[in-house]
Structure 1
């Protein structure tokens, strides 16, 4: 085992970046698709929490963690569909509805999840790539959950679909100009409903990762605002699914900074380093107030651009 503290911190941040970034990745991809259609869904924090609870509950009751993942995705799709249905009503603000659904989803998860705080549910297993190295620290770091790879494939698929398919063209056209989409015979409400539903499904999967792998339990403080941070992440990535991967890894590494430093005995300022993802989010939001740079590449129909 290497005694170099820099190597230890680097390995810990590498492992932490992959683990911590996975929920960010799924939520940001869902929000990226939703915003590409011209709608913002701030309710994904509640969707993430409810997805985590439903995944844990179904995994415990059925004995199958992958069934729990499916349940989390379906519950997220229901919340996304609810957001999409309400937002198509006249004179409804998507940001206000998102905040309401965030509170509703979190409250519902806490209500139904109280009986699942103590029981231990079957967890997702990791793929062990430790055979690639003889270093014990790297062996641990190379235990990667399959959902991380699913997220990578989903990011590539979404990037390709938005650029090369009729579906992607319709979503981008709807997000850039609703009037043009209507003139082309496209149902703007239907496109946004579907995009928001798929976005909710993706956020629910992110919640399943939290409760069934890392940290791998269910409690009411599980999310720590990751659903809301994903909105800043999408802005940071300029609504590009591939950039969402890099941004999620950056946020994940920031989240792993505190534990990585603690592993080499640096405990002073531990809570400050643990707040790194929140500080990064604040920095991004402050930077995004620039009228010249912040909304470059943003879909024209987003309420934040008007």
Structure 2
């Protein structure tokens, strides 16, 4: 295989890996914002999920129990955020920052004993079975969490369009006055949506510690939970578009390692900044004055 082919394979494989945490956090944030609430605390849920998942995997010997523990830990932070934000005069954004700091602080404090030990990792699906090259076969070992995330995106899209639950979430997110007139439990819907959204972020964190890069340390997240908020805006609050945007950001994150496979090392650290440069560019282009944010729920805190 020539250099172009090697870079392409490495880029695709890297995109599938790097996009997975973006996928789960952006879907979680999409659900939360569809209900009319912003949750910047998903960064904390991501980090706490990574630590909890790794610790549970190490203690039980089962990586899937680790994923379940990460889901519960992330959901716990989301429940806290949802309940507090249901109180009068509590700002979503400020509370989200507090939850983010709390989640990362708890993870760093309780995660110190698990920095060195090796925990069981999640199994992989070998998409490179068609190749005889060991490098390609190894690169295309994909975590099942990626496909679970895609399934969640399809289910969310279908549910928003075709189910009563999805309609209730959309009504609550678009107009609290209409929701009140219909007798819908606004606070309960938002608490549940926030809890599930943070639980998804926790699962994204478990991917980081149990699949790729496959370890626990305090610098694991690199702000991916916050980048996912920009992803949701870019995707116009559409779950399938969130999945596509996550793959785009994953490819940007995999650009540096992909070029390294063919010996291009100059500007190595610059390539690693590609996802964050892309985030800035997307926010400039999509949130510029005069542009209509199609699909934005009417009850988001930033619009009130």
TM-score band, normalised by shorter chain:
over 0.9
Q: Would the aligned equivalents of 1:295 and 1:305 in 2 still touch at CA under 8 Å?
A: no
The superposition leaves residues 219-243 of structure 1 with CA deviations (integer Å, 9 ceiling, x where unpaired) of: 0000010000000000010000000
Does 2:82 match 1:84?
Answer: yes
- Give the secondary structure class of the aligned counterpart of 2:237: coil
Give me the whole-angstrom Cα distance separating, in 1, the residues matched to 2:126 and 2:110.
34
TM-aligned CA deviation for residue 291 of structure 1: 3.2
Which one is further off, 101-110 or 285-294? 285-294
Q: How does 1:12-91 map to 2 (within 5 A)?
A: 12-91=10-89
1:137: Cα distance to partner? Answer: 4.3
Residue 157 of structure 2 corresponds to 159
Q: Hey, what's the Cα distance between the residues in 2 that align with 1:140 and 1:292?
A: 47
* Residue of structure 1 equivalent to 2:145: 147
Shift of 1:122: 0.5
Aligned alpha-carbon RMSD (Å): 1.1
**Which of 129, 132, 150 does residue 130 from structure 2 map onto?**
132
Aligned to 2:278: 280
Match runs of 1:193-272 below 5 Å: 193-272=191-270
Q: 1:115 is matched with which residue: 113, 127, 130?
A: 113
**Which is further off, 219-228 or 293-302?**
293-302
1:83 & 1:300 partners in 2: Cα distance?
A: 20
SS at 1:132's partner residue? Answer: coil
Query: How big is the shift at 1:294?
Result: 5.3
Q: Could you tell which deviates more after superposition, 28-37 or 138-147? A: 138-147
Shift of 1:267: 1.0
TM-score, L = length of structure 1: 0.97
Deviation at 1:247, TM superposition (A): 0.3
Distance in 2 separating the partners of 1:38 and 1:169 = 13
Would the aligned equivalents of 1:21 and 1:253 in 2 still touch at CA under 8 Å? yes
Paired positions, count:
304
- The gaps in structure 1 that reach 5 residues or longer are none
Work out the CA distance in 1 between the residues paired with 2:129 and 2:121.
23
Q: Distance in 2 between matches of 1:177 and 1:112?
A: 41
Residue 187 of structure 1: how far off its partner (Å): 0.9
Q: CA deviation at 1:212?
A: 0.3
Please give the per-residue CA displacement for 1:111-142, whole angstroms capped at 9, x wherever unaligned. Answer: 00000000000011101133334454442333
Matches within 5 A, 1:167-178: 167-178=165-176
In structure 1, the residue matched to 2:294 is 296
Cα distance, 1:268 vs structure 2: 1.0
CA contact (8 A) 1:48 1:206 kept: yes
Counterpart-to-counterpart distance in 2, 1:268 and 1:131: 32
CA–CA distance in structure 2, aligned partners of residues 263 and 141 of structure 1: 11
Which moved further from structure 2: 123-132 or 226-235?
A: 123-132
- Give the gaps of 5 or more residues in structure 2: none
Q: Aligned partners of 1:284 and 1:41: how far apart in 2?
A: 20
